[in-house]
Homo-oligomer: A and B are copies of this chain.
Amino acid sequence: MKQVAEKANVSLKTVSRVVNNEREIADETRTRVLETINELGYRPNLVARSLVTQRSNIIGLIVPDICNPYFSEVARGVQEITQENNYSLMIASSEDSERGEIELLRVMNSQSVDGVILFGPMWSEAVDAFGAGNRPIITVNTFYDHPRVGCVMADHYNGACAAMDHLFARGHRRIAMLADVVGDPREERRVSAYQDSLVKHGLPVDESLIVRGNPRIPGGRAATKKLLTERPDVTALFCFNDLLALGALKACAEMGVRVPEDCAIVGFDDIDFASITTPALSSVRVDKRELGRSAAMLALRMIERLDTPNRLVEIPAELIVRNSS
């Protein structure tokens, strides 16, 4: 920058003005400076800029598991928006650990990350960890009421109800649920919807039909094998997410249980892979990319404080019926 200033015969501040496109500057100097910048290939040092502006133009994204396609699709949505707005994206994975998440928030705080998007439940500790200034925290799928916290939610409840209604319409009465370990905020709503739907159709809620496990493929496979062995009367499986459902599909294939004839399966999230299995998986579609885009846009709005936006965004969910139910 000093070189540019010297070569163009202007002050540092003038170069800065040109770079930042401030308008109080004569066209003639502007073009001269721009030429010199090009000539010298000057690029501003974002670190120095951050130091003085207290803004980094970086958005943080903390996912529980980067390999889970659900999160990577959300991440893509976030990335699209940040890129469009000249923000960088810093992704970190907490590996499902609360401590890890807090620590990551602290690090991002020290890095002067301008705003952070995270999944999973919120604690006041998180707000403290990502503290100074008015930098926003966006939670996906959890609600937490705090002026610095925004929230983007998929409509888990109605999505789950749609899935259950569909199973009832197909004549199923003994419907089990493959759930996540307790604690996930999506979990809560989906399980509620499951229970409420049973009640609505005049059926008792049988707790032994709610099986919990690690919400990935192996977890779904193991849980399904156990469940179908113990409760062969079950005719349908509503799964907390598609990974569990894919595991269930695999388990059925291995046990010789025909899907959907012997046991129908419905998943949740509609990840890409859901459509290519045989049979193709019925699933409740959530536009994950849109979820990410909304979260990022909300973050940017809160950062730029363009308005006092509605801090709660809801994304619809829609049942996609394929061959597994």
Contacts and interface: CB of A to CB of B under 8 A. Distances in A.
Interface stretch (A21-29, A68-76, A298-306): A68-76
A273 B110 CA distance: 38
Nearest to A75: B66
Contact of A91 (B56, B69, B89): B89
A124 to B, nearest CB: 15
Interface stretch (A9-17, A45-53, A140-148, A226-234): A45-53
Interface in A54-81: 56, 58, 66-67, 69, 72-73, 75-76, 79
A134 B92 CA distance: 25
Contacts of A47: 47, 50-51, 56, 111-112
Contacts of A221: 276
Given A46-B112, A51-B51, A79 B107 contact: no
A79 B277 CA distance: 30
Q: For chain A, what secondary structure do more than half of its interface residues adopt (helix, strand, loop), or is it mixed?
A: helix
Nearest to A90: B90
A67 B284 CA distance: 19
Interface stretch (A185-193, A247-255, A310-318): A247-255
Contact of A67 (B44, B58, B76): B76
A46 B217 CA distance: 39
A89 B88 contact: no
Contacts of A69: 67, 69, 72
Interface residues of A, number: 44
A106 interface: yes
A246 interface: yes
A273 B216 CA distance: 11
Nearest to A276: B250
Interface string A266-299: 0000001100111000000000000000000000
Contacts of A58: 90, 111
A43 B110 contact: yes
Contacts of A276: 217, 221, 246-247, 249-250, 277
A191 to B, nearest CB: 25
Given A43-B109, A46-B107, 8 more contacts: A44-B110, A45-B110, A48-B51, A67-B72, A217-B272, A250-B278, A253-B278, A273-B273
